């Protein structure tokens, strides 16, 4: 159910507000292009600058379009356990298939603090919970030992992993064969799958959903050379998506193919001219622009 090419969805804005029709059309396009799981209200979706009402609405809109076609993993993270519980409970009520909960940022909790945070979220809902371990944004790094403790809980089913590749086999050994390990880094996604990962929650898939889906399909079919070829073609685009603070580059990329305005919310600012040049060249090189 949770495998392959998964898109960390952007949230299109219009006149400062969520572009609801644009967002639903974007989700529909993603599914038709082969995206296997959609992930609203993550970092790429600018959840950090959404109101609670907007966050709830975006999850509702996503579920409405996707439900019955592909799974929805709703972003529900917060550095406040109470708030993460509230967002997770709303996701369940909305009909999401799972939630993605980031390690608590800013507070710098201990390993025990992280364990208790995720335990409290998991016990508050019945749907699956994915841990989102991204030390570069949250400052804290969940250890393999803590993740293994959490993997024993009934509905903590996997991780979106933004750490180093060398950790992947250690997590598999510690957390067991049923634990779902998803890459959170496009540029190393193929290598991650070679080390027992089962998919990638992707930024690049916002603008190249078919290419990303075809890479994952080729890998699962054992066509390693084709998967490698697609990955190599997309590599400059993977890098371009982070040439400046995300999601400014990917939103500009989406604007080039008519899928979203390039608008972002402060403190993120729109892609500069130099970043736009990098993105445009990468999009052209990937065959997404003439």
Catalytic residues: 132, 160
- Residue 269: CB atoms within 10 A of its CB come to 11
Which ranges in 99-247 belong to alpha helices (H)?
A: 111-124, 135-138, 144-151, 168-175, 189-194, 209-220, 224-240
Residue 82: partners with Cβ closer than 8 Å, 6 or more residues away: none
Bridge partners (DSSP) listed for residue 101:
131
Tell me 289's DSSP state. -
Q: Map tokens 């190393």 to a residue.
A: 188
Nearest to 129 by CA among 107, 114, 110, 112: 114
Residue pair 264/248 in contact by the 8 Å Cβ criterion: yes
Bridge partners (DSSP) listed for residue 6:
37, 201
Measured distance CA(177)–CA(172) in Å, rounded = 6
Measured distance CA(28)–CA(63) in Å, rounded = 11
Tell me 110's DSSP state. -
Q: Please state the length of the chain.
A: 290
- Residue 126: CB atoms within 10 A of its CB come to 9
Bridge partners (DSSP) listed for residue 161:
133, 183
Tokens at residue 117, please? 């945070």
108-159-92-54 Cα dihedral, nearest 10 degrees: 60
């Amino acid at each position: 159910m949770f495998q392959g090419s998964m898109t960390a969805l952007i949230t299109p804005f219009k006149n400062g507000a969520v572009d609801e029709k644009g967002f639903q059309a974007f989700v529909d396009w993603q599914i038709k292009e082969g995206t296997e799981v959609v992930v609203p209200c993550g970092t790429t979706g600018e959840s950090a600058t959404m109101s609670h009402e907007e966050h709830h609405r975006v999850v509702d809109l996503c579920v409405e379009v996707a439900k019955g076609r592909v799974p929805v993993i709703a972003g529900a993270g917060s550095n406040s356990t109470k708030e993460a519980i509230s967002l997770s409970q709303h996701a369940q009520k909305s009909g999401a298939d799972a939630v993605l909960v980031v390690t608590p940022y800013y507070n710098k909790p201990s390993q025990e603090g992280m364990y208790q945070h995720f335990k409290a979220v998991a016990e508050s809902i019945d749907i699956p919970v994915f841990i989102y371990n991204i030390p570069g944004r949250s400052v804290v790094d969940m250890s393999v030992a803590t993740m293994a403790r959490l993997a024993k809980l009934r509905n903590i089913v996997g991780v979106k992993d933004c750490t180093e590749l060398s950790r992947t086999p250690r997590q598999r050994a510690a957390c067991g064969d049923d634990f779902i390990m998803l890459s959170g880094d496009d540029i190393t996604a193929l290598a991650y799958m070679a080390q027992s990962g089962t998919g990638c929650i992707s930024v690049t898939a916002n603008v190249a959903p078919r290419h990303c889906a075809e890479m994952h399909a080729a890998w699962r079919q054992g066509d390693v050379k084709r998967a490698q070829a697609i990955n190599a073609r997309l590599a400059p685009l993977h890098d371009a998506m982070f040439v400046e603070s995300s999601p400014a580059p990917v939103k500009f990329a989406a604007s080039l193919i008519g899928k979203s305005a390039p608008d972002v919310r402060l403190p993120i600012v729109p892609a500069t001219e130099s970043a736009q040049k990098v993105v445009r060249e990468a999009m052209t090189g990937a065959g997404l622009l003439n």
